[in-house]
């Protein structure tokens, strides 16, 4: 079975969630609709539903994370799962044990689902290829490849505010080359027939295949922001780039930093997003990040509902059961 189809079973149902590429509009829409049914859980006195009761989820984060790990753990708790979060810094992998050995040892503890974040592209697919039947893998970010649940919470945020993707112009701004989020976002937005997806970045931060992904390229921020409905800013991933790619952070901000003056070139009701963590004064001005058009904190909150939705769909139960 190809990596592209590994996440679907023989009936086309989700069994792993590894990438947006290879999915279809029906699955994407099902995740968004199911997430919407879970948003009310946060308003309950007891913020739990029994969908993953009796299931054990292992969170394996081989890279630092705050938002992604926290929202996955909260999502698992609200679905009533038993949770094992592995401290990778003190795990057996630092003592020479292979990742495959780690998987099999955890499977011996009857783990039902793995949530994995790893620095190597393709790592989530590797895990999914080696778990036993009936065990699911969710990709919480793999190298520079994809970050599918982040893309889904971004889509949910956009739909919450703008509804119809077929009428939207959406700009993704910044370090496209090193962003797993951007690749997932582009695949997802195209699946939902977004009217126009723009990518705005210095040429040194664009991968060679960007245009083949079905986007409009801009290397001028002010021109690229004209008449857009959604602005998605990306973090400069300095840990993954050589200094030759950028002269300085100040020069980057002068050319590609989102200020209110530049945002005013977008539509008046445009929303501003950022997957975080944001570098204030590098890719975005503080007044914009904290301003009325920013929905960045809403993205974080929606991430819990979206991750609940993905896990519930994988185990074959949707938000229709949240009242149980």
Concatenated DSSP letters of 113-149 = EEEEEESSTTHHHHHHHHSPTT-EEEEEEETTTB-HH
Q: How many percent of the chain have pLDDT more than 90?
A: 65
Rounded to an integer, the average pLDDT of 24-28 is 95
Strand-pair partners of 169: 196
- What confidence category does residue 192 fall into, taking pLDDT thresholds of 50, 70 and 90? very high
Rounded to an integer, the average pLDDT of 17-37 is 94
Give 96's DSSP letter. T
Rounded to an integer, the average pLDDT of 205-213 is 83
Rounded to an integer, the average pLDDT of 228-249 is 74
**Mean per-residue pLDDT of the chain:** 88
Domain map of the chain by residue range? 25-146+302-321, 148-300
Q: Is the pLDDT of residue 240 over 50?
A: no
Q: Is the pLDDT of residue 24 over 90?
A: yes
Q: Say yes or no: domain 25-146+302-321 is CATH 1.10.3720.10.
A: no
Q: Is the pLDDT of residue 42 over 90?
A: no
Strand-pair partners of 204: none
Question: Of 79-88, 94-103, 283-292, which has the strongest mean pLDDT?
Answer: 283-292
The reported pLDDT for the residue numbered 217 is 95
The reported pLDDT for the residue numbered 97 is 60
Minimum mean pLDDT range among 71-85, 105-119, 160-174, 186-200: 105-119
Which residues does 322 contact at the CB level (< 8 Å), separation at least 6?
37, 38, 40, 41, 49, 51
Rounded to an integer, the average pLDDT of 110-124 is 91
Q: Is the pLDDT of residue 283 over 50?
A: yes
The reported pLDDT for the residue numbered 249 is 83
Q: How many percent of the chain have pLDDT more than 70?
A: 90
Residue 156 sits at φ, ψ, to 5 deg, of -60, -40
Q: Do domains 25-146+302-321 and 148-300 have the same CATH topology?
A: yes
Q: Is the pLDDT of residue 40 over 70?
A: yes
Residue 306 sits at φ, ψ, to 5 deg, of -65, -40
Rounded to an integer, the average pLDDT of 271-291 is 93
Rounded to an integer, the average pLDDT of 131-150 is 92
The reported pLDDT for the residue numbered 91 is 54
What is the CATH code of the structural domain delimited by 148-300?
A: 3.40.50.1370
The reported pLDDT for the residue numbered 86 is 82
**Contact between residue 196 and residue 218 where contact means Cβ atoms under 8 Å apart:** no
The reported pLDDT for the residue numbered 2 is 43
**pTM score:** 0.90
């Amino acid at each position: 079975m190809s990596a592209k189809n590994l996440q679907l079973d023989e009936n086309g149902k989700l069994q792993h969630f590894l990438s947006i590429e290879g999915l279809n509009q029906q699955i994407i829409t099902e995740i968004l609709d199911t997430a919407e049914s879970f948003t009310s859980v946060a308003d309950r006195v007891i913020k739990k539903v029994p969908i993953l009761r009796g299931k054990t989820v292992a969170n394996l984060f081989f890279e630092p994370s705050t938002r992604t790990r926290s929202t996955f753990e909260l999502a698992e708790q609200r679905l009533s799962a038993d949770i094992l979060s592995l401290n990778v810094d003190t795990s057996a992998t630092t003592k020479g044990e292979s990742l495959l050995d780690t998987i099999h040892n955890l499977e011996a503890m009857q783990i039902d689902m793995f949530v994995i974040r790893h620095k190597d592209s393709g790592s989530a697919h590797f895990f999914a290829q080696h778990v036993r039947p009936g065990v699911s893998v969710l990709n919480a970010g793999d190298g520079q490849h994809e970050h599918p649940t982040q893309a889904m919470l971004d889509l949910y945020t956009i739909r919450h505010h703008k509804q119809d993707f077929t009428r939207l112009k959406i700009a993704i701004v910044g370090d496209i080359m090193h962003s797993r989020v951007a690749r997932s976002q582009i695949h997802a937005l195209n699946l939902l027939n977004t009217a126009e997806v723009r990518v705005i970045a210095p040429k040194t931060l664009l991968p060679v295949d960007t245009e083949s992904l079905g986007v409009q390229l801009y290397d001028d921020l002010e021109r690229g922001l004209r008449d857009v409905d959604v602005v998605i800013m990306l973090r400069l991933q300095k840990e993954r780039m050589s200094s030759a790619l950028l002269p300085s952070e100040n020069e980057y901000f002068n050319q590609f930093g989102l200020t209110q003056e530049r945002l005013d070139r977008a539509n008046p009701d445009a929303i501003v997003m950022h997957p975080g963590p944001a570098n204030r004064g590098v890719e975005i001005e503080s007044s914009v990040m904290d301003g009325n058009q920013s929905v960045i904190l809403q993205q974080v909150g929606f991430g819990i509902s979206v991750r609940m939705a993905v896990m519930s769909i994988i185990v074959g139960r949707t938000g229709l059961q949240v009242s149980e």
